[in-house]
Amino acid sequence: MNSRVRALFGRVFRNTGYLLTGKGATAALALGSTAIAVRALGLEEYGILLLINAFTSSCSVSTRFQSWQPLLQYGGTAFKRADKSGFQTLLRHCAVLDGLGAVVALAVAVIFSQVLGQALGWNATAYGHMPLWYLTVVLFMNAGSAIGVMRLTNRYELSVLGDTVAGFVRFLGCIVGFFLHWSLIGFLALWYASFVASFVLDGLIALWVLAHTDGLKGFRLVNVPWLSPIQGLWRFTFSVSVDQALSRLASRLTVLIVGVVLGPQSAAIYNVTWQISDGMARPAQMMTPALYPELVALRDKRDWASIRQVTNRILQALGAFSFVVIVAAALVGPWLLHVLLTVPWSGTRTLLLLMTTTAILDLWDVPLEPILVSLNRAHQLLFGRMATMCFSLPLLYVFATLWGMTGAGVATLLSELGIFLSRLGPYLLMNRHRNFQNSQEDTLHPSLAKERNGD
């Protein structure tokens, strides 16, 4: 392993540690907030709070542009060269994407809330127009461009502060609400405030980072171009955003299909089993956002040898980690499922091993997806996911009908196998060429393209 690759792994593991620490703190605070809120509101009203928040979050996620990815994909060269004009135009472009996604999310939330309001447990007679004002929280749910600035400048320790602060606001607010006997409206206001706090903090940190970065000071939002002319930017943004939206949609539809075919109890077992399996693989999956900017930097340097070396090293490490996950799932998983859902151990081990294998296949995307995205193959990832969804959802319905929970587990495994092959195939084809020929030419910033042509 050469010195450049060793330094890269050092940064990746350090930044992954920051992300895991932030996620862990946020998860712990969320558990504490849930316990207190349930005791303050009662299970029924807390359930309404949860459904309202889940609905608004789904509207935000499904219409969100992954603006941090185009910022890293196209902004690295301009950033490293202190090209203030080019980088700041791209940053404003990404901010426009965040704003556009938020406005669309609000429109979607307002429209669908009129249809789904009664089904999700709220109504004007009991709660007035409370959910309507809460829907505006979608305007503060996405700070993708700010997160992109922190990741591009290698300030991952700052990128987790927004979510952590939101967790603290909710936790401390729940304690106050418990002693002051807040109603459901009070807790909704608390959840709203936590999103606003996270959004504002992320924005302020991003501006602070820009102000303290040599050559990029003086960022402004007036009398300047808003949209970047970089070729391929819109196609790239559309591909990565729709791919992520379909991924989240598929996970929700999968649980829904299992519930329709096998009933709500089976849907709960299936969903929690997947959460256990995915949770065991989560530490390694957190490498993806830390790895992506490093691969973009290697691409800009045309260091194909290091890209191959990084990929091989990560796949070797994932092989060992996968074995540990399988053993842990077999030994601990059934007991954990029994504790959470009070279901018998018998009959759960097969499903758990199937779902764990599925999570491991998803885990092996850790190096492949960021490599393909950095080499401008995001559209292939999207086509692969769309094709897989076309066969996997009907297959899940058929297999669950024929073989119950085991059939659902097999169908889920086959679906993830399709996703994995749709990533592995393009990578192997590119890897046949010494320099990943024609894989990234249209991703480049114009200044880098001129340099390569000798201008």
The helix (run of H) or strand (run of E) holding residue 202 is helix 184-211
Helix axes 184-211, 161-180, angle to 10 degrees: 150
Q: What pLDDT, on a 0 to 100 scale, did the predictor assign at position 290?
A: 82
Q: What pLDDT, on a 0 to 100 scale, did the predictor assign at position 170?
A: 93
pTM over 0.95: no
Q: What pLDDT, on a 0 to 100 scale, did the predictor assign at position 361?
A: 87
Q: What pLDDT, on a 0 to 100 scale, did the predictor assign at position 445?
A: 45
Q: What pLDDT, on a 0 to 100 scale, did the predictor assign at position 375?
A: 82
- Token duo for residue 177: 């609400």
* 62 has a pLDDT exceeding 90: no
233-242, 296-305, 391-400: range with highest mean pLDDT: 391-400
Residues of the chain above pLDDT 70, percent: 85
Q: What pLDDT, on a 0 to 100 scale, did the predictor assign at position 11?
A: 82
Q: What pLDDT, on a 0 to 100 scale, did the predictor assign at position 118?
A: 63
Cα separation, 444 vs 426, in Å, equals 20
Region 341-367: what's the mean pLDDT? 76
* 81 has a pLDDT exceeding 80: no
Whether residue 142 contacts residue 196, with contact meaning beta carbons closer than 8 Å, is answered with no
Q: Is 17 helix (H, G, I), strand (E, B) or coil?
A: helix
pLDDT in tens, 200-242: 999 999 889 888 877 667 766 666 777 888 888 888 888 888 8
Residues of the chain above pLDDT 90, percent: 18
Cα separation, 317 vs 333, in Å, equals 23
Q: Which of 141, 137, 112 is nearest to 120 (CA)?
A: 112
Q: What pLDDT, on a 0 to 100 scale, did the predictor assign at position 453?
A: 36
DSSP 225: -
pLDDT in tens, 115-144: 766 655 565 555 555 577 888 999 999 888
* 387 has a pLDDT exceeding 60: yes
- Token duo for residue 124: 């004007």
Of 409 and 320, the structure prediction assigns the larger pLDDT to 409
Mean residue pLDDT of the chain comes to: 80
* 168 has a pLDDT exceeding 90: yes
* 384 has a pLDDT exceeding 80: yes
pLDDT in tens, 254-287: 877 888 888 867 776 787 777 777 777 777 777 8
* 149 has a pLDDT exceeding 60: yes
Of 191 and 339, the structure prediction assigns the larger pLDDT to 191
- Token duo for residue 155: 């300030």
Q: Which of 110, 113, 111, 100 is nearest to 63 (CA)?
A: 100
Lowest-confidence pick of 99-108, 161-170, 291-300, 404-413: 291-300
Q: What pLDDT, on a 0 to 100 scale, did the predictor assign at position 74?
A: 86
| Per-domain boundaries in the chain | 11-228, 239-447
